[in-house]
Amino acid sequence: MDRAKDLDLSAEIKDIMISVLELGIDREQLDDKVSLYSPTVGLDSLSLLHILVEIEKRLDLEIDDEDVMNAELRNVGSLVDMIRQIIDAKGADE
C-alpha cells in the first residue's frame, strides 16, 4: 500500500472511531499511539464490534473473528495495521 493510501486508511479508521464512539474530538487528537482502552477512546468489546461493523460497511471488507483474535489490538495504530493487513490480503486474493 502506498503512503497516500496508507494515510487515507488511517484517517478513515480514525473518523469511524470518532463517529461510532462519539468521541467529540478531532482526528488529529487521535494519535496512532493512543491506547484503545484509554479514557480518550474507552474501547470495550461491544464498542469494538460496532467499529468493526462500520469499517466493514464503509470499506467493503469482511473481517474474520480470527483476524481480530490474532491481532494485538493495543492502540489506534494496531487497529489500522490489522485493517491494512486484511485489505492487503484481499488484494492478493483478487
Cell numbers 474501547: residue: 43
* Mean pLDDT value across the chain: 90
Say which residue the cell 482526528 belongs to: 27
Positions in the chain short of pLDDT 70: 1-7, 92-94
pLDDT of 90 reads 81
Query: Domain coordinates of the chain in residue numbers?
Result: 3-93
Q: Which fold has domain 3-93?
A: 1.10.1200
The confidence score (pLDDT) of residue 91 equals 75
Q: Which of 3, 15, 2 is nearest to 59 (CA)?
A: 15
pLDDT in tens, 22-34: 999 999 999 999 9
Runs of H (alpha helix) within 21-64: 45-59
Largest distance between two CA atoms of the chain: 40
What is residue 4's predicted lDDT score, i.e. its pLDDT? 46
